Chain A
């Protein structure tokens, strides 16, 4: 499936240099893996050393609204995945 992955500005320089990149995959996890293969630098900024998604990021699927998803969630042709950064602390 061809899927659009929208990146927060803090990650754009490690992706395709634009607000969104086109990738393929059947699940969210595959899409992210293919994003990393195309742009290896992004992995270091999206995941920790154990390969877990850093908690300051969340991955959401834009379909009917925006829903949080995990890496196993299947995707459809022309879906849009949005990676958001969530930084609010004290």
Chain B
């Protein structure tokens, strides 16, 4: 054993068959694991033009080389597929415990093909892989599903599953393990389209590594560092709720569907206020941070609501975005999304979109099943969430995502759909941090806050309002994120002391691959992954025209947003040119032949030539 198990489980749901394959060592060295390795398989095996919700799409879950070891915060799992929201590549990273136990069972990853004739789940244990009827769990929410699987297969059963939203093909349905989602880009809908409810596993560790003594010493060092890290302590105490008040003051916290940047009463959903209703911490397998804040409402109309969260993105999507500062409603809404299995960001964005249409008279109560979508009316917001998750009434339309919903509504609704490539924009106002604007525009998975971060601007070392001189930094940050997602390390780890140097040492001790000790080698892998994702999208017809932002960001000065008031993005073209130049793409955003050869993607050249000829 060398960090990797070296095995991929391939399941054909149409034929109800499975087989175990070796993962070539060169692929591990070229693509690392997690997101990178999964994207390689997806690109190689998927023909362009496949329906994301059809049987020919493939869904991969893939661990990284440090997963299920004694190192901290490296046991999340990557989910990769073709997105039902964007039609391009999709990636999502899930926490929980499923990934570690999949690896204990002997698999670095699973690739799911075809479509089962009827609702199905997969069970893996020491005796084999079983493809079973899901009659007893289809229709259950995500908590009920995991509880039922434990009843059926024993208390030690770990699972990843979808909820009713995935079964009903809400395009932004999630996959969930324990209470942790693979949230964005619609991977849960792809699983539901395959009639696959869950993958359950019974297994135990430990896994071997290449140099056990060295690995043990490095892991111990990591744990000691985390114990006293102020940032780790802050994450344990507050999770990412610590961001809300500060970002609102800076005009970065979007309010009312990105119409403005100030939220009256935001303190009620700030970190200190939410800490008062916290009952315990929760977190992913193999992580001592336990950043999950489990909160409970004990009084008022939402008494009894419990949720592991909300985190910053959800505080925004179901809070600030909807002008909702009611704690009870926020916890209840977060819980509904988790149980039904929907992305809180896209769901909240869809409701915010509907609220703005309601405000402008484009839709009325006749269209909304009688719901009053006035800003801040959290009671009706909660009802609408349930409808979306079950695709009932007006919820059926919003379950398509804002892009498709706007196309169906017409009457100028497209102007109020805040998405890029079909994926709804998350909790960072692009006009207030323009590096985020560039990331959202160029991300191959659509507007995603974890495709890269504008680190220089967020650290206060670069001017967040500047519209030039950012392309190189953003390209580099996206490359970094690709490496992180392929190790599948938690993205909070860099701030808590997990440096590229300590990561490299752990990778070498785990795998014995000395190549991983060279930061430039890992950066090359990151660039290769980014370029392969770009090539996947080019094959699907994407180019520069798709690397854009909603007109609101490009033409409307930001309103009532503190120091960011009046900001608008006027020079996106300049930023795009810088970004493409930094990555060696043409000015149409297409990887050049020279770049593809330089990073070892020669085999992609003919595909790109076919598209551009």
Contacts and interface: CB of A to CB of B under 8 A. Distances in A.
Interface string A64-89: 00001000000000000000111111
Interface string B485-499: 000000110110000
A66 B464 CA distance: 24
Given A13-B563, A86-B495, A90-B313, A68 B463 contact: no
A65 to B, nearest CB: 13
Interface-centre pick from B240, B249, B491, B492 (highest chain A CB count, 10 A): B249
Given A57-B246, A58-B231, A89-B243, 9 more contacts: A45-B563, A48-B270, A50-B272, A56-B242, A56-B246, A85-B458, A85-B460, A89-B449, A90-B491
Given A56-B242, A86-B495, A8 B461 contact: yes
A54 interface: yes
Interface in A8-33: 8-11, 13
Nearest to B249: A45
Interface-centre pick from A48, A54, A84, A87 (highest chain B CB count, 10 A): A87
Nearest to A48: B245
B450 interface: yes
A13 to B, nearest CB: 7
A89 B249 contact: no
A88 B245 contact: no
A87 B313 contact: no
Interface in B555-601: 562-563
B44 interface: no
Contact of A84 (B234, B449, B460, B494): B460
Contacts of B311: 89-90
Interface in B270-295: 270-272
Contact of B246 (A13, A55, A88): A55
Contacts of A7: 460
Which secondary structure characterizes the binding site on chain A?
Answer: loop
B461 A55 contact: no
A52 B246 CA distance: 11
Contact of B245 (A13, A54, A87): A54
Interface string A26-47: 0000000000000000001100
B219 interface: no
Contacts of A54: 245-246, 249
A58 B449 contact: no
Which secondary structure characterizes the binding site on chain B?
Answer: helix
A58 B230 contact: yes
A55 B427 CA distance: 17
A8 B243 contact: no
B267 A49 contact: yes
A58 B460 CA distance: 12
Contact of A55 (B238, B450, B464, B563): B238
A88 B491 contact: yes
Contacts, number: 83
B250 A68 contact: no
B416 interface: no
B91 interface: no
B362 to A, nearest CB: 32
Contact of B464 (A10, A50, A57, A58): A10
B462 interface: yes
Contacts of B245: 48, 54-56
Nearest to B453: A88
Contact of B459 (A49, A84, A89, A90): A84
A7 to B, nearest CB: 8
Interface residues of A, number: 25
A38 B559 CA distance: 29
Nearest to A50: B272
B247 interface: yes
Contacts of B250: 10, 45
B312 interface: yes
Interface of A: 7-11, 13, 44-45, 48-50, 52, 54-58, 68, 84-90
Given A44-B249, A48-B267, A49-B267, A87 B243 contact: yes
A83 B381 CA distance: 39
Interface string B59-100: 000000000000000000000000000000000000000000
Ranked nearest first, the 10 interchain pairs of A and B with the lowest CB-CB distance are: A8-B460, A56-B246, A55-B242, A89-B240, A89-B312, A87-B458, A54-B246, A85-B460, A9-B460, A89-B243
A9 B461 contact: yes
A63 B492 CA distance: 26
Nearest to A13: B563
22 contacts: A7-B460, A9-B457, A9-B460, A45-B249, A45-B250, A48-B270, A54-B249, A55-B245, A56-B242, A56-B245, A57-B246, A68-B230, A86-B495, A87-B246, A87-B459, A88-B492, A89-B312, A89-B313, A90-B240, A90-B449, A90-B450, A90-B491
Contact of A52 (B272, B449, B459): B272
A55 B240 CA distance: 10
Nearest to B456: A9
A81 to B, nearest CB: 14
Contacts of B492: 88
Given A48-B270, A90-B313, A56 B247 contact: yes
Nearest to B564: A10
Interface in B96-142: none
Interface in B437-496: 449-450, 453, 457-464, 491-492, 494-495
A46 B450 CA distance: 26
Contacts of A13: 563
Interface-centre pick from A11, A48, A52, A57 (highest chain B CB count, 10 A): A48
A48 B246 CA distance: 8
Contacts of B313: 89-90
A44 B313 CA distance: 24
Contacts of A45: 249-250, 562-563
A89 B245 CA distance: 13
Contacts of B464: 9-10
B32 to A, nearest CB: 21
Contacts of A48: 245, 267, 270, 272
Interface-centre pick from B250, B271, B449, B460 (highest chain A CB count, 10 A): B460
A68 B461 CA distance: 18
Interface-centre pick from B246, B270, B458 (highest chain A CB count, 10 A): B246
A89 B234 CA distance: 12
A54 to B, nearest CB: 4
